[in-house]
Amino acid sequence: MKRIIAPSILAADFNNLGKDIEMINRSEAGYVHCDVMDGVFVPNISFGVPVIEHVKKIAQKPLDVHLMIVNPDNLIPSFVKAGASIITVHFEACTHLHRTVQAIKSMGVKASVCLNPHTPVAFLEDIIAELDMVLLMSVNPGFGGQKFIENTYKKVGQLRSLIDKNNPECLIEVDGGVNFETGKKLLDYGANVLVAGSFVFNSDDPVNVIQKLNSL
């Protein structure tokens, strides 16, 4: 099964962001995960289009852009232009989800939908065939370094069953509290993509941590 490690630059050192992106380039990471927060949909503000543009100039891996924002349709074209390879929108933020997904795909990038911890996997039944990836939040979105929510394993298993029946090429990404222990169990339950922020960037050897995650 396909496996990808996606370090989240939300946990990077923004005084030395270029060096941290270069570290990701040297590593076995598959994506650069970019958490965009607006302070409305989630109780935190991170960064926006200008930072994505600068990251794109250095990054040699696809930019996995997670939009934790209200009214994402208004800004999707700007993030695509800035260099996103994958755009993730929240189920909870999209009134017309199918239209949003089709708009993303029409711009030539991959479309992903995120579910917050309280949102059932079954809500994706009517859209799963259209998606390139589903992101499951294993913490409540907004801040890094939170404790992993154990119910996520069950949701990964449910999502794996839904995907295998309807869209086997769709990837399962998990974000929040990923470490060697939770990462191994998530992969065993059927996840493909592990987002790791604090666990990577707070380590003494991030490249080695990424390598170990990739070989779980």
Query: Looking at residue 85, what DSSP letter applies?
Result: E
Which segments of 60-106 are extended strands (E)? 63-68, 84-90
How many whole angstroms separate alpha carbon 213 and alpha carbon 216?
A: 5
Catalytic status, residue 164: no
Backbone angles phi, psi at 46, to 5 degrees: -115, -90
How many whole angstroms separate alpha carbon 172 and alpha carbon 133?
A: 6
Structure tokens at 64: 């996995």
- Return the bridge partners of 5, or none: 194
CB 92 within 8 A of CB 134: no
The catalytic position among 13, 20, 35, 204 is 35
CB 198 within 8 A of CB 160: no
How many whole angstroms separate alpha carbon 55 and alpha carbon 61?
A: 10
Catalytic status, residue 73: no
CB 104 within 8 A of CB 76: yes
The catalytic position among 20, 38, 64, 175 is 175
Residues designated as active site: 35, 175
